Structure 1
Amino acid sequence: MIRFLIVGISLLALPSCGADGTPMRPTASGTVTVTPSGVHTGGSVGVSKGPVSIGISL
């Protein structure tokens, strides 16, 4: 799981640094859900350029 997370973040970091042109702004979001069964957290990170979007949900 850790390896998948590291590979995913590195793949998102390469286009956001502008390696092949102008830099793209990465997006990030986080959620916290409180239910009677407990507290659940989640989040996502991604980048988009035109019609193409890449993201990872955590």
Structure 2
Amino acid sequence: MKSILAILALVVVAGCGADGAPIRPSANIGIGVGTNGVSAGAKLGASKGPVSIGVSL
């Protein structure tokens, strides 16, 4: 949980943009229920123009 918050904080700070337009952060959290039980996942990312970076947890 701490690592998710740390990465999210990093993306938000990077979204401020020191020079030029800010980088647009994105986040997606999902919870699924299946035959193997409950599963959770998260994806954090940032994009600027045609360039995107993402991390799936």
The TM-score, its normalising length taken from structure 1, stands at 0.70
How far is 1:15 from its partner? 3.1
Structure 1: gaps spanning 5 or more residues: none
- The letter of the residue matching 2:22 is P
Match of 2:55 in 1: 56
Ranges in structure 2 where 5+ consecutive residues have no aligned partner: none
Q: Which amino acid aligns with 1:43?
A: A
Q: Distance in 1 between matches of 2:51 and 2:24?
A: 13
Note the C-alpha offset of 1:50: 1.3
> Comparing both structures, which one devotes a greater share of its residues to strand?
2
Q: CA deviation at 1:17?
A: 1.4
Task: Give the aligned CA root-mean-square deviation in angstroms.
Answer: 2.1
> How many residue pairs align between the two structures?
53
1:24 matched residue in structure 2: 23
Q: Deviation of residue 55 (structure 1)?
A: 1.1
* Stretches of 4+ aligned residues off by more than 2 angstroms: 12-15
